[in-house]
Copies of this chain bind each other. A is one copy, B any other.
Amino acid sequence: MTSFLAKRGTRRAVAIAAATAIATGTLLAAGAAVGQSAFVADSHRLSGDQAGAVRQAIKGGKAKNVILLIGDGMGDSEITVARNYQYGAAGRIPGIDALPLTGSYTTYSVYKDGVNKGKPDYVTDSAASGTGWATGTKSYDGAISVDIDGNPLPTLLEIAKANGLRTGDVSTAEIQDATPAVQVAHVGDRGCYGPDSAACGADALASGGRGSISEQLLDTRADVVLGGGLASFQQTAKAGAWKGSTLLQQATARGYRIVTDAAGLAGVAKADQTTPLLGLFAPGNFPTRYAATTATVGGANTPITCTANPGRLSTKLSLASLTTKAIDLLRSSKKNDKGFFLQVEGASIDKRDHSADACGQIGETIDLDEAVQAALAFAKKDGNTLVLVTADHAHTSQIVDSTPPTALSTGLVTADGTVMKVSYGTSAAGGSQQHTGAQVRIAGYGPGAANVVGLTDQTDTFGTIVRTLGLRTDASGHGTPGHGTPGHGAPGHGTPGHGQGGDRR
């Protein structure tokens, strides 16, 4: 793909070039030179027929590794907002825009109960949408890899692990947040972060459940888990074999290596089932790349520029750095290596969009893009890796021409030197801007990536990854016959004696 190979600077100068000349090449009409008098940036992204390049980008067969990158709330509008600001309208987001195969998928969730039980709920939350791709099954808002009746569903990460692959889960959010949680836990309410969470209800160990997301994460025992959410691990187990110990103590006792800063992470050279890596770099969510801005009614009339967030973590803990570290730890040069499955989330595109924070969401999109670049760099070198980049749902931010009369808005002076007005109109000041229900982009590179082309549903991503990795879903290590809920539901599950197949302590 021409576009895939092209390298561009981060900020593009306005080129003195006639767009027509590029489009028509040698067939340019002599008289059309009049069009060349206009100083217009080169808008063209194609330099010729790309049919051959697209055909070449379609790789059949299996991949050894899959890296799934999620921009939380990264609809087409959020992508365009970030491109316009950071690279200019004619620019190219180096990773996101470089993926050669593209399509859209639908993201709706379903109602849990009442007369609409099982029917579409047109605007999903991150829990239901994550459950969709992690398990291949639609569920209700708030569900963490359980179906609408509360039954646990095997996740991609669990299935990959049971098939002998190495696994990773990376996020800039608390690692208990919905998107990272859907790969490692099964709870009825996404708020069930730790033993102290009232939201756990029947899922609490003390109630005979599978335990909180943090506790289940330790049971699931991915090789590499990197994110925020340290606070929940400082809570103390209320029941089970680890009753009375904090989750950090439990993790250490179960063989995890825990790191909480860049130096600690740099010191890790190996992560596996003997010593899985648990990196928790913030009590809650990561601070954002850019300092927060606040949209106001009429705000777009006073354009601003984004500034760095002084509270941002070390760039050694950027999403790209964590992604690179995770890949380094999961990859193997062993001949019989079965490959890896890694999920990476840029979490705060969504969170900042909720807060009508234009600079915040832009910075997080750029941060995710750097992680996409890291994943692509590995995949291109490796040649046997599927990279998928998508969102869990669309969001509120819209690019408008005029300052909207009632919606909140922010004006931004972009890389082009002109003003982009971003509108937030689904909630009032101080409220939370809403997710939206539009289909979103899914794009891919590598074997299996052709399955993103056209219109798919979020739940299809599960099947695409299962097929591309050649996973057996009946080998998930959870399907103990006679188990009421396959491998997840037994009381006491999560205690050392009942550990998952991979828990070797």
Chain A residues with CB under 8 Å of chain B are: 1, 3-4, 14, 18-20, 22-24, 27-32, 34-35, 37-41, 43-46, 48-52, 54-55, 58-60, 75-77, 79-80, 83-84, 88-90, 92, 97, 99-104, 106, 108, 110-111, 116-123, 132, 135-138, 147-149, 151-154, 394, 396, 398-402, 404-407, 414, 416-418, 420-421, 423, 425-428, 431, 434-441, 443, 448, 450-451, 453-460, 462-464, 466-468, 471-474, 476, 478-481, 483-487
Contact = CB atoms under 8 A, between A and B. Distances in A.
A23 B463 contact: yes
B119 A416 contact: yes
Given A76-B76, A99-B454, A151 B479 contact: no
B46 A460 contact: yes
B436 A54 contact: no
Contact of A84 (B101, B437, B464): B437
A401 B123 contact: yes
A453 B406 contact: no
Given A84-B122, A460-B45, A27 B472 contact: yes
Nearest to A486: B31
A369 to B, nearest CB: 13
Nearest to A434: B400
Given A434-B402, A436-B400, A89 B120 contact: yes
Contacts of A487: 31
A37 B466 CA distance: 22
A10 to B, nearest CB: 16
**Residue among A58, A136, A467 having the largest count of chain B Cβ atoms under 10 Å:** A136
Contacts of A100: 453-454
A404 B426 contact: yes
Contacts of A414: 120, 122
Report, nearest first, the 6 A-B pairs whose CB atoms are least far apart: A425-B425, A31-B486, A399-B437, A23-B136, A89-B120, A31-B479
A394 B398 CA distance: 10
15 contacts: A23-B462, A39-B117, A39-B118, A43-B458, A45-B455, A46-B451, A46-B463, A50-B451, A75-B438, A80-B438, A89-B108, A90-B108, A92-B455, A121-B418, A425-B425
Contacts of A399: 122-123, 436-438
Contacts of A40: 110, 118, 137-138, 147-148
Contacts of A463: 22-24, 44, 46
B451 A49 contact: yes
Contacts of A60: 49, 51-52, 55
A141 to B, nearest CB: 8
A76 B78 CA distance: 13
**Residue among A119, A394, A458 having the largest count of chain B Cβ atoms under 10 Å:** A119
B123 A473 contact: no
A43 B483 CA distance: 27
Contacts of A79: 438-439
Contact of A400 (B45, B123, B476, B483): B123
Contacts of A44: 136, 457, 459-460, 463
A30 B474 contact: yes
Given A92-B455, A453-B54, A32 B103 contact: no
A477 B450 CA distance: 42
Contact of A45 (B97, B152, B440, B457): B457
A27 B44 CA distance: 45
A153 B35 contact: yes
A39 B118 CA distance: 5
Given A38-B149, A46-B456, A443-B454, 11 more contacts: A18-B137, A19-B136, A24-B473, A29-B479, A31-B478, A31-B480, A41-B138, A76-B76, A121-B418, A122-B401, A425-B426
